[in-house]
Structure 1
Amino acid sequence: MFRRPRGGEVKRPQSPPMCSSIWSKSSREFSYPLRGQVGPKNSSFIYGNVKEIEDDPLVTRKWRDEIGPTFLFKGVFNTRQLYTADPIAIDHMLKADSIYQKGITKHDILFRLGGPGLLGVEGEDHKRQRRVMNPAFGTAQIRGLTGIFVDKSVELRDIWVNMIRGHTAPQHIDVYSWLSKMTLDVIAQSGFGTPFKTLNPKARPNPVYQALERLFRAPNGGRESLFHRIVQSFPILLYLPVPARKHIEDTRRQLFVAGSKLLADSKAAINAAGGPKSASGGRDLFSLLLRANMSPDIPDHHRMSEAEVIAQIPTFFIAGHATTSAAIAFALHALSMNKPGLPYLESVIRETLRLYAPVSHVPRLAIADDVLPLRTPCVDRNGKVHTSLPVPRGQRVRIAISDLNTDTSLWGPDAGEFRPERWEKIPEALHQIPGVWGNMLTFLAGPHNCIGFRFSLAEQKVLLFVLIRAFEFDGAVPSDDIGRRSTPLQVPFVHSARQKGSQLPLLVRAYEG
């Protein structure tokens, strides 16, 4: 009953803002369709389970084995995220890319590094850029770059030969550092027709290499990755003078300075060679992309803007350099403990990319309500079995690449072991895994599969072939002292020397077989 105050006006009581907020939160909690799903214990209100994952990327495999391939975990500030290593669920999401998008904003690390490039756009923009870029990454074009892969592999081999020459004992070499230099030289030469000469110790240090090294090899790389996840929720932190922000800004500046110059030089070279339709001119990936984009045959609304073209350059450097160097480093680490011969080369590469996927997971954001089909049913807190899950709009999902690649229900009980011979006859169950290559998820699938997977595979095959013929590798530290961390790429480090950042020390000697 309301009492009419003097003056004749009825004043209804107002609910305090706090009560309204509590009611709103309770209402959302009650209506949240996944609230009954189980997951690992929340270890921190601020970091959720994310800090555990950044410190040890393999912890999600433990949760997968204990809970199942699909569960809820806590993101920063107690946000609920859906994790899945279920092949049917993942196949559905990768095909339904109009619903499950990357959800990248201008505050995300990929967008801040690359801008509106292929990794940072969605929908029609992604299709338009991909349409222009696809011809540059075809089989014939990649085959034409093999000579560069061979030359740089031989250059690295000769450097290591000189390092071990005159020594009777195997020499301690941080192979990850050298591989990082080599793969950057490869992407600079084959991607842009520009010699970086990073492998040459007498050459002036390359600023792009230095910036990428600070980003991917910093001792606190995992913490910086965590910082950037928090920034997604609180962009104001970008204005704080913290090292994580400075590393990103330095890297972005160096990449875009180099990118602007490369764009100007490539345009001038194309015009000097007779224009985009001329058969002469550079055969590097960027020149091919630029000629396709400048072609009079392409409609104006299909062209990339100058900003979009420049944005592909950081994408080339990051995706074409850091992922391959990490993959080869882990391959040599695996070979230091398991010594198959050259006939196993193809199987060694497949097994390395399965067991040590450079990108452990990819995030997705549901922009509409959906129902997610499951291969393995979920059992909620009340014992109810779910063969599918309702996914509400706004739900963040983590597609677990590495954990699907090591699922024992698909690969067998030895899924966590390095066994190249498994590729002689693969299990029938692997055909359920979506993927653009090799019955694994490493290069993703669907419209957003890795456009450069042929480039990466060709480079890895050449490099491993050259190195395995020349050297034998043994561990320089106990095998369990070698770990991996997300920066956000999976890179190797030594537990007992974490302060040195990313590295992979091996004992290297000349092959005497």
Structure 2
Amino acid sequence: MFLLTVYAAIAVCSALLAWKVLRQRIRQANLRKIPGPPSGSFLKGNLPQVYSREQGWDFHAGLLEKFGTVVKIHGWVGDTLLYITDPRALHNITVKDQYIFEETSGFISNNMLNFGSGLLSTLGDHHRQQRKLLNPVFSINHMRYMIPIFQKVCGELRDQLVERVKGGPREVEIVHWMTATALELIGQAGLGYSFECVNDTSGNEFALAVKTLLPTQFPFMVYRMFLPWIVRFVPRPIRTLVARHGPVPRLRALAAIVDVMQRTSTEILAQKKMALMKGDEAVMLQVGEGRDIMSVLLKANMAAAEEDRLSEEELLGQMSTLLFAAMDTTSSALSRILYLLAEHQDVQDKLRDELMKAQEVAGGALDYDDLHNLPYLDAVCRETLRLFPPIPLLSRTTRADVVLPLGTPITGTDGSKITEIPIAENTDVIISILGVNRSVAIWGADALEWRPTRWLAPLPQSVVDAHVPGVYSNTMTFLGGGRACIGFKFSQLEIKVLLATLLPVLKFELSDTKIQWKLSSLLYPSVGNGVKPMMPVKMSLVSEEAG
């Protein structure tokens, strides 16, 4: 019976796929003149190249160099996708026509299975309703309350690292510590909950689960388009059985990761609601003293009109989404910054000098305004997030026929000049965050160079004229429009507090271990050809270097 159900599901999915492919090939005929690479295979097109951990870097760079700002690439069985870095086109996709260019069904289904009904799993009015409740807790005024929590957690990290190198220089695996710190930061400031993962060196179950989620899931990206049909036609008990006990080891690992995330979110939410029921005194005794994002959200939800309230399922979804998004992306960004500072000792020394002088003037730890008035610290953060955005690409699909205007005309395969592209409903487009942020046409001949000083002078006119529609520093790092990263200010603050805490006392140098940065849903470092996120660096005390 089980096998019959599986075979029936496969047959239905195959029939639907065949119909979709035939229909789309007819509707996408007007995309034939768009330049692009040949298909890598009849079945999967260029998708294995787009989503390759190692070869993906060269493939993405080649698309920009050979074909320009709009590229046609091949998907499943001849389906056509558009790979886009044109800023005007991106403005239409993320801002002007954002409700036509929605998240793909595969993306939504995937996130619903991973996180529940949170911001990353909803569309349209449902998404706007959730965002409306969340916006106030990510305001600048609320961020100011987070500084003491950030300083406390980062201070615990500093003490742990100092303890490890007080006997002399030592190689330390830094991704573990950045992951633990990012989780503790979002735990305390976001959920009013301590995972105790900075002081507990044994490793936290939830931290390990989130850290390995994307590397485990990434090979399935090629098949994500089938996910909505699987969810629709395969009963949940069968999906769960296959995921947890089926013959695919990676799928079993993914199911275990999701189970840990969902169980943890359920436990934390129960504690938060119990404290609220007991009154303000119980809330004040919690980590964060009731000022954390989740406590504020729960209170706002209780006070909201009935039609605007989030359900229990949605609250759990927000928690899982917050934990994942804040931990993984911040950990990736912090690891990259420390790697670059270890590689560029002159930049590290200059940044350390700026931080120590500011702390001397402030008479101690830096507050919100102090941190945002340090030009070199800001420049290092902006340049790193420009050149190495934690999330390199995102996908959208058209919910209706639409015409996409281009800021820069492209030359068609027949030599014609193309200034706008008619796109049929259900056509997928890839937003290349990496490509826009590294565009030579926008950023100049040194676009691929990590040069923080570019932010200490007026930006080139080409950057201003590009009108990149992102919410952060003329880049697409945190996206733009109604689905821009809601917590990007939170992330920036975390990064700045951590650097201000570590650099005055610790020096970072490259180790002899070869590090490779893998192209995934999230950029991450690993040792050699390994898949697990890892990055050993050599650390020592600044006082020893001075002595």
TM-score w.r.t. length of structure 2:
0.82
1:131 aligns with 2:132: yes
Shift of 1:472: 2.0
Change (3 A) 1:229 1:509: farther
Task: State the shift of 1:213 in Å.
Answer: 3.1
Please name the residue that 2:489 is paired with.
Answer: 454
SS at match of 2:492: helix
Shift of the alpha carbon at 1:484? 2.4
Is contact 1:331–1:349 with CA below 8 Å preserved after alignment? yes
Q: Which residue of 2 aligns with 1:115?
A: 116
Does the 8 Å contact 2:283/2:290 carry over to 1? no
Amino acid at match of 1:272: K
Closer, same or farther: CA 489–363 of 1 in aligned 2, 3 Å: same
- More helix per residue: 2
Partner of 1:484: 518
Native 8 Å contact 2:24 2:79 kept in 1: no
Q: 1:29 to 1:270 in 2, by over 3 A?
A: same
Greater mean deviation of Cα atoms: 321-330 or 35-44: 35-44
Give the unaligned 5+ runs of structure 2. Answer: 1-14, 355-375
Distance 1:67 1:276 in 2: 60
Deviation, 1:474, is: 1.9
Report deviation, 1:78: 3.6
Q: Which residue of 1 aligns with 2:274?
A: 268
Distance 1:268 1:30, change over 3 A: closer
Instruction: Report what 1:53 is aligned to.
Output: 50
Match of 1:92 in 2: 92
How much has 1:252 moved relative to structure 2? 2.2
Q: Which shifted more, 115-124 or 421-430?
A: 421-430
In the alignment, what sits opposite 2:463? 430
Structure with max Cα Rg? 1
2:161 aligns to what? 160
Equivalence for 2:196: 197
Matched residue, 1:285: 293
Paired position in structure 2 for 1:103: 104
Q: How does 1:63-462 map to 2 (within 5 A)?
A: 63-95=63-95, 96-105=97-106, 108-167=109-168, 170-201=169-200, 205-216=203-214, 222-226=218-222, 228=224, 231=227, 239=242, 240-273=246-279, 282-295=290-303, 298-338=304-344, 339-340=346-347, 341-342=350-351, 343=354, 344-424=376-456, 425-431=458-464, 432-462=467-497
The alignment partner of 2:194 has SS state of coil
Do the aligned partners of 2:272 and 2:295 also contact (CA within 8 Å) in 1?
A: yes
d(CA) in 1 for partners of 2:132, 2:87 = 27
Tell me the distance in 1 between the aligned counterparts of 2:486 and 2:179: 21
Following the alignment from structure 2 to structure 1, what is the Cα–Cα distance between the partners of residues 441 and 155?
Answer: 41
Structure 1 residue matching 2:117: 3-state secondary structure: coil
CA gap of 1:26–1:466, structure 2 versus 1, over 3 A, is closer
* Distance across 2 between alignment mates of 1:153 and 1:224: 35
Offset of 1:294 from its aligned partner?
0.5
Decide whether aligned partners of structure 1 residues 148 and 52 sit closer, same or farther in structure 2, where only a CA change above 3 A counts. Answer: same
Q: Distance in 2 between matches of 1:28 and 1:43?
A: 18
Deviation at 1:47, TM superposition (A): 3.1
The structural deviation recorded for 1:231 is 4.3
Aligned residue number for residue 10 of structure 2? none
Distance in 1 (CA, whole Å) between partners of 2:461 and 2:36 is 30
Q: In the superposition, relative to structure 1, how do residues 245 and 100 fare at CA in structure 2: closer, same or farther (>3 Å)? A: same
| Deviation sequence 1:7-34 (CA, Å, 0-9, x none) | xxxxxxxxxxx9xx99x94994486211
Residue number in structure 2 paired with 1:499: 530
Give, as a single letter, the amino acid of the residue that structure 2 aligns with 1:201: D
How far, CA to CA, are the matches of 2:307 and 2:333 in structure 1?
A: 38
Structure 1 position 148, deviation (Å) = 1.6
Q: Deviations over 1:292-344 (max 9, x none)?
A: 1111xx22111111111111011011101000000010111111222312242
* CA distance in structure 1 between the partners assigned to 2:35 and 2:417 by the alignment: 12
Query: 2:38 pairs with 41, 61, 73, which one?
Result: 41
Whether the 8 Å contact between 1:214 and 1:247 is mirrored in structure 2 is no
Decide whether aligned partners of structure 1 residues 107 and 288 sit closer, same or farther in structure 2, where only a CA change above 3 A counts.
Answer: closer
Distance in 2 between the 1:28 and 1:80 partners?
Answer: 8
1:62 alignment partner in structure 2: 62
Matching residue's letter, 1:288: V
Paired residues in the alignment total: 481
Q: CA deviation at 1:362?
A: 1.3
CA distance in 2, matches of 1:132, 1:194: 21
1:30 to 1:195, Cα distance in 2 relative to 1, 3 A: closer
Change (3 A) 1:174 1:230: farther
Matched letter for residue 211 of structure 1: A
Taking a change above 3 Å as real, the CA distance of residues 28 and 216 of structure 1, as seen in their structure-2 partners, is closer
Judging changes above 3 Å, is the alpha-carbon distance between structure 1 residues 194 and 35 closer, same or farther for their aligned structure 2 residues? same
Q: Distance between the aligned counterparts of 1:125 and 1:244, measured in 2?
A: 32
| CA apart distance, 1:100 | 0.5
Q: SS at 2:30's partner residue?
A: coil
Letter in 1 for 2:295: S
Cα deviation for residue 350 of structure 1 reads 0.4
**Paired position in structure 2 for 1:7:** none
Cross-structure match for 2:373: none
Percent identity between the aligned chains? 30
Closer/same/farther in 2, CA of residues 201 and 318 from structure 1, 3 Å limit:
same
**TM-score of the superposition, structure 1-length normalised?**
0.87
CA displacement, residues 229-268 of structure 1 (integer Å, 9 cap, x when unaligned): 6646766696454233223322222222222222222122
Deviation at 1:38, TM superposition (A): 1.6
AA in 2 matched with 1:172: E
Tell me which amino acid in the other structure corresponds to 2:297.
Answer: L
The separation in 1 between residues aligned to 2:397 and 2:190, in whole angstroms, is: 31
Secondary structure of the 2:197 match is: coil
CA contact (8 A) 1:71 1:82 kept: yes
What SS class does the counterpart of residue 130 from structure 1 fall into?
helix
d(CA) in 1 for partners of 2:139, 2:171: 39
